[in-house]
Amino acid sequence: MKTILRSQELSCPSCVAKIEKALKAIDGVEQAAVHFNTGRIEVEHDPEAVKSDALIKAVRAVGYESKVAPF
């Protein structure tokens, strides 16, 4: 399953690395890609193992706010 998050707080390329690392550390996350210019965060994950709330919590844990974006 792919979940799209959005964050308006990305101010530097190191933000991308922090968020991707935090998301990839979650069991059940297969891929995480953060697009710095748009604030789009794409996460491929097992929907049974990882819910969107866990993704948002991981992003928050490294200092950024995000929300699930409509397609």
- For the chain, the structural domain boundaries read 2-68
Residue 25: which residues within 8 A CB-CB, separation 6 or more?
58
pLDDT in tens, the chain (71 residues): 999 999 998 888 899 999 999 999 999 999 999 999 999 999 999 999 999 999 999 999 999 999 999 86
Which architecture characterizes domain 2-68 according to CATH? 2-Layer Sandwich (3.30)
- Regarding pTM above 0.75, the answer is yes
